Amino acid sequence: MNPLYLASGSPRRRELLTQIGVPFTAISADIDETPLTDESPAAYVERLARGKALAGFQSLAAAEHGTAACVLGADTAVVLDGQILGKPQDEAGARAMLMSLAEREHEVLTAIAVLDGRRCESRVVRSLVRFRAIGSDEAGAYWASGEPRDKAGGYGIQGLGAVFVAGLDGSYSAVVGLPLCETAELLGHFGIPCWQNLIARSAPY
């Protein structure tokens, strides 16, 4: 079984992958995340997930780790009215972003890609999140907490921002950043099982 590398700096993705019992090593994969002209949000996240997997694989090869490895890349976008909402740059932007999501339903698209140097497979998972009404004072207090600063769409469903979520249709883990059902399936195509700690304990001597 080839070792798995996670091409992501996200602590949330590391926690989710650990949750399903898959050993991995986190590596960096810096790529240009500028959307292409007329690129759909789904095509955008899939391109970035595949690009991160490739960048991670190339960094391993450059560091002479060899090419017997699998690299997992992922990307998440919050989409409202067909437009991708990035990370807020300041309090004004965060407040405006949060208020635009209030009392509305938006999409969260998360793409995953696994590459082993011979082939690359990817998936895009779509979830719908519905927010309740949000007061201006709440939006300001949420910004002051520090949580929205590095979050796509300006909120974290796994943190303080959970209080805004009135409904979810789709994958909770995908909204956090890594769709675990689809990730486990995709890793299985590359011979990497989940629950490896359980498998090791149940193996005959």
Output the 3-class SS for the chain. CCCEEEECCCHHHHHHHHHCCCCCEEECCCCCCCCCCCCCHHHHHHHHHHHHHHHHHHHHHHCCCCCCCEEEEEEEEEEECCEEECCCCCHHHHHHHHHHHCCCEEEEEEEEEEECCCCEEEEEEEEEEEECCCCHHHHHHHHHCCHHHHCHHHCCCCCHHHHHEEEEECCHHHHHCCCHHHHHHHHHHCCCCCCHHHHHHHCCC
30 flagged as catalytic? no
Q: Which of 30, 32, 75, 137 is catalytic?
A: 75
β-bridge pairing 120-131 and 165-169: antiparallel
Rounded to whole angstroms, the Cα distance separating 5 from 71 reads: 5
Rounded to whole angstroms, the Cα distance separating 117 from 181 reads: 23
* Catalytic annotation, residues: 75
